[in-house]
């Protein structure tokens, strides 16, 4: 699957896409997922801002796969956050 930068949610999604594409900009989600043993569907959901919950094992694997660029701590929701919020960088509910 190939996504254009405009199709990716800001924040974590953009950073993840840069990691997936690599320095030459040619990497794909499928290749990245296979190389690092990650679920490509979850990667796609992150990129599009549609992942509602992040599990710790996947967040840990993603941190390792991105060389620490997207640490587990980026997924933490502050104690005072609105319980209706989703992951950081995700668009508001109902956004297209």
What's the average model confidence in pLDDT over 6-29? 82
Is 83 inside any structural domain? no
Per residue in 65-75, pLDDT tens?
Answer: 999 999 988 87
Residue 30 domain-assigned? yes
Helix, coil or strand: residue 18? helix
**Of the candidates 66, 67, 23, which has an alpha carbon nearest to the alpha carbon of residue 43?**
66
Q: What is the CATH number of the domain that holds 70?
A: 1.10.260.40
Residue 14 lies in a domain: yes
- The predicted model scores a pTM of 0.71
**Residue 90: inside a domain:** no
Averaged pLDDT for residues 33-61: 90
End-to-end CA distance of the chain: 19
The number of folded domains in the chain is 1
Domain span at 40: 5-75
Share of the chain above pLDDT 70, in %: 69
Does 39 fall in a domain? yes
Rounded (10°) CA dihedral 67, 70, 72, 78: 160
List C-alpha distances in Å: 53 to 13, 30, 67. 14, 21, 22
């Amino acid at each position: 699957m190939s996504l254009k930068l405009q199709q990716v949610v800001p924040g974590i999604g953009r950073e993840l896409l840069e990691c997936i594409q690599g320095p030459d900009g040619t990497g794909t989600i499928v290749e990245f997922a296979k190389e690092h043993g990650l679920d490509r569907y979850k990667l796609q959901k992150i990129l599009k801002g549609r992942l509602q919950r992040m599990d710790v094992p996947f967040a840990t694997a993603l941190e390792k796969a991105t060389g620490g660029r997207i640490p587990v701590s980026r997924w933490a929701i502050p104690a005072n956050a609105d319980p209706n919020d989703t992951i950081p960088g995700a668009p508001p509910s109902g956004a297209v």
